[in-house]
Amino acid sequence: MANERDSLRAPKGTNDILPPGSFRWEALVRLAQDTFEQAGYAPVETPTFEDTALFERGVGETSEVVTKQMYSFEDLGGRSLTLRPEGTAGVVRAVIEHNLHRGALPVKLHYSSWMFRQERPQRGRYRQFFQVGIEAMGTDSPSVDAEVIEVGDRFLRSAGSTPTLLLNSIGHPAADCRAGYNQVLVDFLRAHEGDLAPEDGKRIDTNPLRTFDSKEEATIAVMASAPVITDHLCGACAEHFEDVKAHLDALGVVYTLEPRLVRGLDYYTRTAFEFVWSGLGSQNAMGGGGRYDGLAEMIGGDPLPGIGFALGVDRILLALNDAGIEGGPKVDVYIVAQGDETAAEALVLATRLRRAGIGADLDHTMRGMKGQMKEAARSGARFAAILGSDELAAGEITLRDLTSGDQERVPATDLESKVRAG
Ligand code: HAM
């Protein structure tokens, strides 16, 4: 039963992003957006909720995200809707619905959005979390795989982190590739069934690949000697993977081949990758992605190959700690008004500065001089503009440089130019 105090607490697994950390958060998202747009990716916004069937078909009915983690609800019209657990299915749906794929290809889009998964919360794992991501749709050319991976890698590095890039190819579903390998893997798992954790024994037939994702010690020990997909790729997938690696080598992107990397969502084909950082502990993935050449058809559209990634902003900031990205208040001048008659003038002055493109703030609560100077320091402003009755009468302002402590009286009309001259 909810008690009264619960209405004063954010729901379990959610976070409030508060200042000053919220400035770094915003700076990180802006850096991502700039990096993505500089590579030709255009912003896209899709609804926070979609038809439940979109995720069931797209993300897959054997994935944990769909079976255990979705926030699904019925709306007043009796439709089953789901808060998006990830962004790719919605973006692909939007591209098909609006025929963006009938124009120039690939369609390159980026998003920065909240996602929702009902997971057991722990450090780096929340029920509402924020992703930045890109998707390139309309070609299976290995060069776009390399472009996508390089953009993600460069963004994470320019933000100040040092991730390890894990790379794999998981083939495609046809009989001579993943389906053939699945049979080899099922045979292996059956032969070792008694040694697997009971939970993992249950999905041998439904989704054997997922066994590689198990966190159970017993299963991990078994999987160390399991056959790996890269030894069973069909000719076309093996060649595609070689080309992706050659492109990454040409770009100087360093990767570690990880033939046991399978990713948790069902739509992946061929290239799969993850950016991990050991300092994050058990939730060590800063982000990941891969190719999803069959996703458009899974959700009822025409074939539309694609590749993309999503990076977890909450986790990147945990990984960065206090290093790397910087963001802070944008107040340049704090107006310190002394005396009743100057209080109204302070707002006029702050507004004048803001209209001129200069960040300005002021006290609205009639604090004393000392209190206002404290606020001025806290605001991060470079200058305090002190306005007393003397200054008011003379049409002047005392401008104090809060870093050096130097101050001078200047004509009020010169304030903008003095501040700009810094
Ligand atoms: P994902 O691996 O499920 O992929 O999520 C990507 C990243 O989102 C994770 O590596 C992690 O940083 C963050 N993340 C996931 N779940 C949580 C959580 N509960 N709490 C905090 N952070 C979380 C996808 O979502 C795919 N849509 C990526 C993609 C795009 N593939 C192709 N295009």
Give the tens place of pLDDT for each residue, 366-408.
Answer: 899 999 999 999 999 999 999 999 999 999 999 999 999 999 9
Roughly how many angstroms between the first and final C-alpha of the chain, as a whole number?
Answer: 58
pLDDT of residue 174: 85
- Which class does domain 333-421 fall in? alpha beta
Determine how β-strand 333-337 pairs with β-strand 383-387. Answer: parallel
Q: Which atom of ligand 1 is nearest to the CA of 310?
A: 28
* Residue-level pLDDT at 326: 85
The two tokens of residue 20 are 């000053």
219 CB-near residues (< 8 Å, 6+ apart) = 196, 197, 200, 211
Provide the residue ranges of all domains of the chain, joining segments of one domain with +: 10-175+234-322, 333-421
Q: By alpha-carbon position, which residue is closest to atom 11 of ligand 1?
A: 312
Residue 260's pLDDT is what? 95
Q: What is the mean pLDDT of residues 245-257?
A: 98
Question: How does pLDDT run across 142-174, given as a tens digit for each residue?
Answer: 999 999 999 999 999 999 999 999 999 999 988
Q: Give the pLDDT band (50/70/90) at residue 339.
A: confident
CA dihedral 31, 36, 37, 42 (to 10 degrees): -130
pLDDT of residue 111: 98
> What is this structure's pTM?
0.94
Choose the residue to mutate in 46, 86, 92, 283 for probing ligand 1, maximizing ligand atoms within 8 Å of C-beta: 86
In ligand 1, the atom with minimum distance to the C-alpha of 315 is 12
Name every protein residue with a CB atom under 6 angstroms from any ligand 1 atom.
Answer: 86-88, 117, 119, 124-126, 129, 131, 133, 135, 264-265, 285-290, 292, 308-312, 314-315
Single-letter residue type at 157: R
* pLDDT at residue 165 in the model: 98
Read off the pLDDT of each residue in 340-346 and give the average, rounded to a whole number.
88
The neighbour count for residue 371, using CB atoms within 10 Å, is 13
Cβ–Cβ under 8 Å, residues 263 and 272? yes
Neighbours of 266 (CB within 10 A): 21
pLDDT of 361 > 60? The answer is yes
**So what's the pLDDT on residue 120?**
95
- Reported as a pLDDT band with limits 50, 70 and 90, residue 62 is confident
**How far does residue 116's CA lie from ligand 1's centre (Å)?**
10
pLDDT for the residue 130? 98
**C-alpha span between 107 and 422 (Å, rounded):** 45
| Residue 416 to residue 157: CA distance in whole angstroms | 38
For residue 1, pLDDT over 70 is answered with no
CATH 3.30.930.10 describes domain 10-175+234-322: yes
* pLDDT value at 3 more than 70: no
Q: Among residues 53, 59, 127, 137, which one has the least CA distance to residue 95?
A: 137
**Residues 330, 346: Cα–Cα separation, whole Å:** 18
Instruction: Say if residue 238's pLDDT is above 70.
Output: yes
Per-residue pLDDT of 96-121, as tens digits, reads 999 999 999 999 999 999 999 999 99
**DSSP string for 320-389:** HTTSS--------EEEEE-SHHHHHHHHHHHHHHHHTT--EEE-SS---HHHHHHHHHHTT-SEEEEE-H
User: What is the helix (H) or strand (E) element at residue 149, kind and residue range?
Assistant: helix 142-158
Q: What is residue 340's predicted lDDT score, i.e. its pLDDT?
A: 82
**Interval 298-303 mean pLDDT:** 95
Q: Whose CA is nearest to atom 12 of ligand 1?
A: 312
